[in-house]
């Protein structure tokens, strides 16, 4: 797979729900897709003042990330995202 460098994170984007809780099926254009993804791999962290600052996210976390802050990579018809940890806004609990 990939091993992110520095404070980068490898993500797998979650698919948007295509059905509401009441069972109504939504088209792809009916709502914005959420910026939620699963963490697949993390870098070692970034160096600040000569010290390595560890990453706050870990593998298997679900996170919310900034929409236009990712780099897309396609491998075998599957899309992965690489994003700096600074562009991760929250961990979904």
Task: Summarize pLDDT for 42-66 with one digit per residue, the tens.
Answer: 999 999 999 999 999 999 999 999 9
Fold of 8-15+31-92: 10 Kd Chaperonin, Protein Cpn10; Chain O (2.30.33)
Mean pLDDT score of the chain, rounded to an integer?
Answer: 87
What residues does each domain of the chain span?
A: 8-15+31-92
| Cβ-count burial 28-62 (b if 16+ within 10 Å, e if not) | eeeeeeebbbebbebbeebeeeeeeeebebeeebe
Whether the pTM exceeds 0.95: the reply is no
State the pLDDT at residue 18: 63
């Amino acid at each position: 797979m990939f091993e992110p460098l520095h404070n980068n994170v490898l993500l797998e984007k979650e698919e948007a729900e295509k059905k509401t809780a009441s069972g109504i099926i939504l088209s792809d254009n009916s709502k914005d897709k959420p910026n939620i993804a699963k963490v697949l791999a993390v870098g070692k962290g970034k160096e600040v003042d000569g010290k390595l600052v560890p990453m706050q996210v870990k593998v298997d976390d679900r996170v919310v990330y900034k929409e236009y802050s990712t780099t897309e990579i396609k491998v075998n018809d599957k899309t992965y995202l690489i994003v700096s940890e600074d562009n991760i806004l929250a961990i979904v609990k």
